[in-house]
């Protein structure tokens, strides 16, 4: 049930319309919990039906206006309960890791270029995270909420550093392998 919790978190930070939520997911929450426009709207409807959020009253006519949502006390209680619940880590499920394992039995043709492409993507993501850190988390920004958001960003930075190191090592291993025998 993590997408509804991500939506509750975003709405507690700032009441928003579905479109605004989608944009915010693209700029922040989406870095670690992605969702499509359709998924967000579907879950907004479910959260509203469950009495966890409500559409704010508007002076404009209902037709054609964007609904802006806020979290109700039951939604805040649900989110607070979820934060404290125990949950085991999810197993890693990454196609690139599986492809590397498969290369051990079928050969590495094309894999070096794909690992290089992933390395470039992770380098760009790291640069983006570091830029966000510089812009949004100066040392004087020390409120509790800011510190926790910064910890999340630091987690993303460290994950990107891990992938860059691991991909660099994997590329060195592939580069040092003898050519694969041709299939008969």
First to last CA, the chain: 50
CB 108 within 8 A of CB 171: no
Q: What pLDDT score does 67 carry?
A: 87
Q: What would the two tokens of residue 135 be? A: 């812009």
Q: Where are the alpha helices (DSSP H) in 31-110?
A: 37-49, 73-84, 95-106
Q: What pLDDT score does 92 carry?
A: 83
Characterise 55 by phi-psi region: left (phi > 0), alpha (psi -120 to 50), beta (else): beta
The series of mean pLDDT values per 10 residues for the chain, 184 residues long, is 88 91 85 87 95 86 76 96 91 90 89 95 96 89 86 95 97 82 62
Helices (H) and strands (E) in the chain, counts: 7, 3
Distances (CA, A) of 43 to 109, 111, 125: 43, 38, 28
pTM for this predicted structure: 0.79
CA–CA distance, 57 with 76 (Å, rounded to integer): 20
């Amino acid at each position: 049930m993590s997408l509804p919790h991500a939506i509750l978190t975003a709405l507690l930070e700032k009441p928003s319309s579905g479109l605004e939520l989608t944009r915010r997911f693209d700029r922040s929450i989406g870095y670690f919990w992605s969702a499509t426009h359709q998924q967000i709207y579907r879950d907004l409807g479910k959260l509203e039906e469950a009495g966890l959020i409500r559409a704010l009253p508007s002076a404009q006519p209902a037709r054609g206006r964007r609904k802006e949502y806020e979290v109700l006390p039951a939604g805040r209680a649900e989110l607070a309960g979820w934060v404290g619940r125990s949950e085991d880590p999810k197993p890693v499920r990454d196609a690139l890791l599986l492809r590397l394992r498969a290369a051990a039995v079928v050969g590495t043709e094309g894999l070096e270029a794909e690992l290089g492409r992933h390395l470039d993507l992770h380098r760009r993501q790291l640069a983006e995270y570091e830029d966000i850190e510089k812009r949004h988390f100066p040392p004087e920004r020390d409120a509790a909420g800011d510190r926790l958001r910064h910890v999340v960003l630091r987690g993303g930075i460290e994950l990107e550093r891990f992938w860059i190191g691991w991909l660099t090592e994997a590329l060195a291993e592939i580069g040092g392998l003898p050519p694969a025998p041709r299939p008969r």
